């Protein structure tokens, strides 16, 4: 009986050491798979979302929000701006519902809306959408995207202080 326990202890120690080595090897392979000068898939996603702001509808919306917003107000009161914003959000909502990956599309929509608000000076709206996207990424177990969004929030908070 004593020998069996000894062999069992050795086996447990071996399995623990093997697991640590496997995890470390996996970590090193993931670390080496993205060179320092290349963007991670999450950074590429965020960059692609930011580039969507160059679209004609988004540029029109940004211009209207900048021109007609009440200084220091987070509320859109102008009827034309409100209608344009609602139409844009409705179109984006359709795109989200038609997506094969609804959860990722919802995260992308919140990020796009955050960047749109940020471009127009609606900082609180931008932060609310970034926080919503972060929560969605966390709930969908998209850890890399969660960390990328956290960096965006940290950079925004740092720029405000």
pLDDT digits (tens, 9 = 90+) for 37-54: 567 777 777 777 778 777
- What is the value of pTM for the model shown? 0.68
Domain boundaries, the chain: 1-33, 37-160
- Could you tell me the sign of the dihedral formed by the alpha carbons of 89, 51, 149, 39, in that order? positive
Over the chain, what is the mean pLDDT? 76
């Amino acid at each position: 009986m004593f020998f069996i326990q000894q062999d069992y202890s050795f086996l447990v120690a071996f399995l623990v050491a093997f697991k640590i080595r496997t995890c470390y090897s996996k970590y090193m392979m993931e670390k080496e798979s993205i060179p320092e000068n290349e963007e991670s898939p999450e950074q590429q996603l965020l960059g692609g979302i930011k580039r969507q702001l160059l679209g004609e509808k988004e540029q029109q919306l940004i211009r209207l929000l900048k021109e007609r917003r009440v200084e220091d107000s987070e509320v859109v009161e102008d009827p034309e701006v409100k209608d344009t914003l609602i139409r844009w959000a409705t179109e984006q909502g359709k795109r989200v519902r038609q997506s094969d990956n609804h959860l990722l599309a919802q995260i992308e929509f919140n990020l796009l809306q955050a960047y749109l608000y940020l471009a127009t000076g609606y900082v609180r709206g931008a932060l609310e959408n970034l926080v919503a996207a972060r929560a969605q990424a966390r709930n969908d177990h998209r850890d890399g995207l969660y960390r990328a969004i956290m960096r965006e929030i940290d950079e925004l908070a740092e720029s405000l202080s």
